[in-house]
Amino acid sequence: MFPRLTRYWLASKARRLFGRNVAVFGDFTVAVPENVRIGANCAITYDVFLLGRCGIDIGDDVVLSARVMVIDAGLDPRTFAEPSSRIYSEGPVRIESGAWIGAGAIILPNVTIGERSVVGAGSVVTHDVPPLSVVAGNPARLLRKIEE
């Protein structure tokens, strides 16, 4: 179903893959690198997983903390009960410039994280996050807006 997973260990490999200044602080995995775009001045820390089946677009100055997972495809939960009728759903994920994704957060398909927003550690993001917002929880909910 998916191509062989590709692991990237060095910042120089990340720069070659994404063509931009990407700071890498440990191993991370990109399943389908041709469907992933990472902007300039981003930081990727330990054990980050980017699926990239449908498309992941990460803006400039984004931080992906340890063990963040960006999943742009998966099973539709409404069809999970009956194995023969399971439907695979997918949708692009966009993380806009300046966002900070906390450790262990999971971002699911068809989600946009707004510019300069913060996703709390361990959160599961199932819906769009407005710009300049702080969200946390499972599912992630708006905690507060960030003042300019």
CATH code of 43's domain: 2.160.10.10
Structure tokens at 48: 């980050």
Q: Per-residue pLDDT tens for 118-146? A: 999 999 999 999 999 999 999 999 999 99
> Domain of 40?
6-145
- Burial of 47-62, coded b for 16+ CB within 10 Å and e otherwise, reads bbbbbbbbbbbbbebb
Assigned domain for 41 exists:
yes
**Predicted local distance difference test score (pLDDT) of residue 86:** 74
Q: Is residue 1 part of a domain?
A: no
pTM, whole model, 2 decimals? 0.84
Domain assignment present for residue 50? The answer is yes
Ranges of residues in the chain with a pLDDT under 50 are 1-6, 8-12
- Any domain includes 12: yes
In a domain, 32, yes or no: yes
The number of distinct structural domains making up the chain is 1
In contact, 104 and 67? CB cutoff 8 Å: yes
